[in-house]
Structure 1
């Protein structure tokens, strides 16, 4: 009986230890350069930091700062490990989408399918609009260019 208890305890402990290494988007503290850049660009804002691996082989690290840009407006700033801003995403209302994008959404999706809308500016100053759509129990990002032209649909996990 003692051996049985020992084996069960060992397996349970091994399982718990293995779980600690699996998390990809856990809350973290980024390098000082990243924190300094964020505080300089968004003074007084309190972020929740997560770590994300990107790139062809998941070999690049990105630090994502989620914060409230204004009352009832969420934002996300993405930095590389040197503190360089790679992208900025902010929630917007449907009325701030270009008319062309609004027309596309009205024609192709029910109003209640739209779950979130954001404007995204990347490190090359390229502006796109991402609209989160839920359809048939799947979540998609419908992406529009800065003029509201349809660009692509990306299925999310």
Structure 2
């Protein structure tokens, strides 16, 4: 009985120890190449770094640097493990959205449903606008193309 009890404790403790791996949303220190590229592109900015797994099999690593661009706005720069910028996201005001996107939002959503607006530029220099909407206690990203044309609605986790 004593051996069974010790075995169960050993088994449980090994599971607990295994849970101390790197959490995708835990603050991390990225590789030197990533730090160097960030500091070169955004001198004087102090980011908070997180790591995410992406790709079809979650086999690619992305390092995300969240930082303040000014007193009221934040930005997010996403790098691969070689320090290549994969995307840049920056908060903007509703008035900075293309007129077509503003008209779509005004027609389909009340102003209080809009939680955040960002412009996103990916590594292929494609610009999109993401508007976070809250509807029925769920959050969605309404995505527009660079001209303000409606693209897609994505439910957020």
* 1:85 to 2:85 alignment: yes
* 1:108 to 2:108 alignment: yes
RMSD: 1.8
Question: How many residues of Structure 1 are paired with residues of Structure 2 in the alignment?
Answer: 157
How much has 1:14 moved relative to structure 2? 3.4
Q: Partners in 1 of 2:107 and 2:17 — Cα distance?
A: 50
How much has 1:15 moved relative to structure 2? 4.3
Q: Partners in 2 of 1:63 and 1:22 — Cα distance?
A: 13
Return closer, same or farther for 1:22/1:62 CA change in 2, 3 Å cut-off: closer
What's the CA shift string for 1:56-97, capped at 9, x where partnerless? Answer: 111111110000011211000000111111100000011111
For the residue of structure 1 that corresponds to 2:152, the secondary structure is: strand
Q: Partners in 2 of 1:95 and 1:7 — Cα distance?
A: 63
* 1:139 to 2:101 alignment: no
Gaps of 5+ in 1: none
Q: 1:53 is matched with which residue?
A: 53
Q: 1:33 is matched with which residue?
A: 33
How much has 1:109 moved relative to structure 2? 0.9
What are the equivalent positions in structure 2 for 1:64-83 lying under 5 Å apart?
Answer: 64-83=64-83
TM-score of the two chains, using structure 1 as the length reference: 0.91
What's the CA shift string for 1:109-130, capped at 9, x where partnerless? Answer: 1111111000001111111000
Q: 1:94 is matched with which residue?
A: 94
Q: Partners in 1 of 2:124 and 2:46 — Cα distance?
A: 26
TM-score of the two chains, using structure 2 as the length reference: 0.91
